[in-house]
Amino acid sequence: MNKSIRAVVNELFVDIFNDLLIIEQTALQSGKLSDLSVTEIHTIENIGMYVPRTMSEVAADLGITVGTLTTAIHNLVKKGYVERKRDDKDRRVVKITLTKKGKLAYRVHEKFHSDMVKEAIEGLTQEEEELLACALGKLNKFFKSKI
């Protein structure tokens, strides 16, 4: 008996999600970033490369509280990936930026994602690429509506 398309899509979602988590964690553990968790690398990714950001901005982007982010940032500061600085104009505001080590981590992770996308679309026609992007956009919109 053939599986329904819904069953196949469900199976693929579960497999892709689980595999991606494992691949990402394995890539981190085996490389230069072995002291980072997947959550920490995604925090680094959200801080970004060039513009100092407030704790509130980063927490909002990650969908977590500032308190939760404070704990994560404390660990990233201890590990040498992030710097905290008080805002010159308003000393109550704390800005966070990546250190040189943090920027390296950002670039390594960005390369991982770039390689993953390149591999995913290799061999697809332009039409198939557009269809994949459209389907993933709809999926992303669905997930965002659930947050």
Residue type, 16: I
Q: Residue 107: pLDDT above 90?
A: yes
> With helix as H, strand as E and coil as C, how does the chain read?
CCCCHHHHHHHHHHHHHHHHHHHHHHHHHHCCCCCCCHHHHHHHHHHCCCCCEEHHHHHHHHCCCHHHHHHHHHHHHHHCCEEEEECCCCCCCEEEEECHHHHHHHHHHHHHHHHHHHHHHCCCCHHHHHHHHHHHHHHHHHHHHHC
β-pair partners for 75 = none
Q: Give the number of other Cβ atoms within 10 Å of residue 76's Cβ.
A: 26
Pick the more confident residue, 60 or 29: 60
The predicted model scores a pTM of 0.80
Q: Are 33 and 41 in contact (CB under 8 A)?
A: yes
Residue 30 located in a structural domain: no
- Confidence class for position 137, pLDDT limits 50, 70, 90: very high
Question: How many CB atoms within 10 Å of residue 98?
Answer: 22
- Rounded to whole angstroms, how far apart are CA atoms 14 and 24? 16
Position 1 scores a pLDDT of 56
Burial class (CB in 10 A: 0-12, 13-18, 19+), 72: buried
| CATH of residue 60 | 1.10.10.10
The answer to whether residue 116 is domain-embedded is yes
- Give the range of the structural domain holding residue 69, as residue numbers without chain letter: 35-146
126 inside domain = yes
**Average pLDDT of the residues in 42-59:** 94
Residue 79 in domain: yes
| 8 Å CB contact between 81 and 92 | no
Please give the tally of structural domains in the chain. Answer: 1
pLDDT at 127: 96
